[in-house]
Chain A
């Protein structure tokens, strides 16, 4: 047993030495754990900002101007105010404007008369997200305006309002109260990076041994496949944990000011578990390919769906049910749940142990497969 451990240690030292001597890999590691995460965290936002709109005011009254004034920055940007319909729709067709608001003639007169009136909004929904969000905001603005006018017309003041049946929904947004995109995007990117690297690094290390012929030397030695492969995983996991620490304490916490709710040791343990699981998958791929070129191609083919279907970029609930079920086999799905759970939600072991166990099982299975395929590759 002591011998067994010693061999594991010798091999792990070797992997770390090699990693420390590879400037290209070190640059890649540094880039991904710092600049890449910073770029993703600071540059991306799925919010509606400055949605460009054309307003056609056919009424030109105080009431219409009041309504128009409610469409304002940061969500909306009224690019032009027209008093005739001519040319307005063409701007939408050409993709120059996103929204077209049209206020009908006699808008004010109808309101004064207590007749209901209708304003028209045309929205470019080629980008569905923008379309949904923008029309949603517009509806809220018009709705608010309508309520104000209605109450005013009915002569109901604030005091009387308290004597009316209504349901006030007090929305409280948890975990990210101001819905800061950098919080989500930077954590998401960190996890993507962890995935990518724990997938590629051990696979690359294994295939490089194959390319250089050193793998045969190890295979004829008294090392078992486990002793050959596992140190790679340990070494790369250590490197990834170090990188994660750099990203966390160098970018996420100080720059994006993410409040860590849960326990950091728990987060690092889960990260280690995850890196081990994904490395297993990488090793399976490494045993199946002959050179680094093949590895990188296979990695991309496997990684791309894995990333996109993990919920890191899009809400998982919206996927077709089959894919939603398939997500269960994507380790990243579990990691995202666990990672966010710990970092933002403060979830503890009690809540997460099942997911962690699932991740561990998945990793053990993959690693076992990799070790099993190892001997076959010399044939």
Chain B
């Protein structure tokens, strides 16, 4: 390894990054943009669900019942419909996601201590939303029934309201949300997006950086010179890893300052782990660049092998634990899964070396593997 030659390659690469407008944007602008757009837009919260009601009763109680929904932050009352037909049209047109049908004699029956049946029509198109929505429905309904029961007990058994409440709900569940007390998906998303951006951006830069030289033919300067393969790869990748190491800081700042995600862990640990991750993902780019010859192919291949695992198998959107056994195994084969453990661990749980050494070690292992493979497959005397 000759330091002067590594520096020569790295210095040239660095200048090109700074001067090529497109590349500069790719290096610094795009990661920022993705982080901001997705951070704002990619929210899994199920809130403000538009719903409509057919109220055949139009009584005080029925309105009260409806208010239980419209007053919560989860639902947004779009309006009333005349009949069930109107509701189904609204559902079909996706104007609403939930429809309630309150039968006539709603108030009358309740006051007469009789059960009533209310119909709730849920748009099941998006299963996740439907599941969550059903949860909300149940919770609001259960609370309503509990109150009815308390009042009923007070009336029929002659107990105090407090006692009645105790009798009606002998077991209460006290839930503590750990790590993300406010249940803000922003927090999880912002820290999780660092995983996504750092999975996609370094390989893109690396792959394009190398393939660009292949496409233009300037790679022959390297082939024809005495620079060794290792020196070239090192010199070539140092600037890209450097850019990404800088981006870690910017992304971290966005996550904490713009999206207000709490950072409870050890910054030094987290930075180091992120650098290992970046080295690892840059290695993916290196491999891509060796396999393909045109920039288009590099873009497409990088997209397929980074974006999809990062989106589907990391656990960011789709919970890994809920997957089938083989999918859970597959997820563990991709670096994003491990880095997400680190990111969420460091941001939300305040974890450090002691709990997260394994993911870091695995990422380091991946990095070593990818770079070794890259070195072995890169030839200065190719067959075509």
Which of A's residues lie within 8 Å of B, judged by CB? 40, 43-52, 67, 92-95, 98, 110-111, 114-133, 135-140, 142-143, 145-147, 149-150, 153-154, 161-177, 179-181, 183-184, 204, 291-297, 300-301, 304-305, 308-309, 313-315, 317-320, 323, 337, 340-341, 344-347, 351-352
Contacts and interface: CB of A to CB of B under 8 A. Distances in A.
Given A116-B170, A136-B139, A166 B149 contact: yes
B249 interface: no
Interface in B104-131: 109-131
B179 A125 contact: yes
Interface string B289-325: 0000011100110010000000010010111011110
Nearest to A348: B92
Interface in B177-228: 177-181, 183-185, 187-188, 208, 212, 215
B44 A345 contact: no
Most buried by A among B139, B177, B312: B177
Contact of B148 (A167, A172, A295): A167
Contacts of B344: 95, 126-127
Given A169-B117, A169-B120, A292-B294, 5 more contacts: A129-B317, A140-B139, A297-B26, A314-B44, A315-B46
A48 B318 CA distance: 10
Interface of B: 22, 26, 30, 33-34, 37-38, 40-50, 65, 76, 88-89, 91-94, 97, 109-132, 134-135, 137-139, 141-142, 144-145, 148-149, 151-153, 157, 165-181, 183-185, 187-188, 208, 212, 215, 294-296, 299-300, 303, 312, 315, 317-319, 321-324, 327, 341, 344-345, 348-349, 351, 355
Nearest to B189: A128
Given A163-B113, A170-B118, A154 B171 contact: no
B183 A125 contact: yes
Contact of B175 (A111, A138, A296): A138
B319 A129 contact: yes
Nearest to A140: B138
Contacts of A167: 65, 110, 115-118, 141, 144-145, 148
Per DSSP, chain B at the interface is helix
Given A95-B349, A135-B177, A347 B148 contact: no
Given A52-B321, A175-B125, A337-B94, A314 B299 contact: no
B351 A94 contact: yes
Given A173-B130, A308-B42, A118 B119 contact: no
B126 A126 contact: no
B323 to A, nearest CB: 7
A323 B41 contact: yes
Most buried by A among B123, B126, B322, B341: B126
A116 B171 contact: yes
A126 B349 contact: yes
Contact of B121 (A119, A135, A172, A315): A172
Contacts of A116: 165-166, 169-172
Nearest to A305: B37
Given A136-B139, A175-B124, A150 B169 contact: yes
Contacts of B318: 44-46
B170 A150 contact: yes
Given A128-B184, A170-B119, A320-B40, A93 B351 contact: yes
Contacts of B65: 167
A143 B319 contact: no
A146 B135 CA distance: 17
A227 B16 CA distance: 40
B131 to A, nearest CB: 6
Nearest to B180: A125
A138 B138 CA distance: 12
25 contacts: A49-B321, A50-B321, A95-B355, A114-B167, A116-B169, A116-B172, A122-B176, A124-B178, A146-B172, A149-B171, A150-B167, A165-B112, A169-B119, A170-B120, A172-B122, A173-B124, A176-B125, A179-B127, A293-B296, A313-B42, A314-B43, A315-B126, A317-B97, A323-B40, A346-B92
A315 B312 CA distance: 17
Contact of A119 (B114, B174, B295): B174
B169 A163 contact: no
B319 A130 contact: yes
B146 to A, nearest CB: 8
Given A50-B321, A168-B117, A346-B92, A131 B30 contact: no
A172 B91 CA distance: 13
A51 B170 contact: no
A145 B142 CA distance: 12
Contacts of A136: 132, 135, 138-139
A329 B179 CA distance: 37
A153 B215 CA distance: 80
A318 B185 CA distance: 10
Contacts of B184: 128
Contact of B130 (A128, A145, A147, A176): A176
Contacts of B321: 49-52, 98, 130
Contacts of A346: 92
Given A150-B168, A164-B149, A165-B114, A345 B125 contact: yes
A316 to B, nearest CB: 9
A308 B204 CA distance: 20
Contact of B152 (A52, A146, A164, A204): A164
A127 B188 contact: yes
Nearest to A312: B126
B131 A133 contact: yes
A147 B171 CA distance: 9
B166 A49 contact: no
Contacts of A137: 135
A168 B175 contact: no
Most buried by B among A120, A174, A295: A174
Nearest to B321: A50
Nearest to B211: A293
Contacts of A352: 93
A293 B299 contact: yes
Given A50-B321, A154-B167, A317 B93 contact: no
Most buried by B among A46, A126, A153, A168: A126
Enumerate the 7 nearest inter-chain pairs by beta-carbon distance, A residue then B residue, closest first: A293-B295, A176-B124, A179-B127, A136-B135, A46-B128, A49-B322, A173-B124
A127 B166 contact: no
A159 B144 CA distance: 21
B170 A127 contact: no
A352 B305 CA distance: 37
A165 B115 contact: yes
A170 B102 CA distance: 11
A123 B172 contact: no
B317 A313 contact: yes
Contact of B137 (A131, A169, A204, A347): A169
Contacts of B97: 317
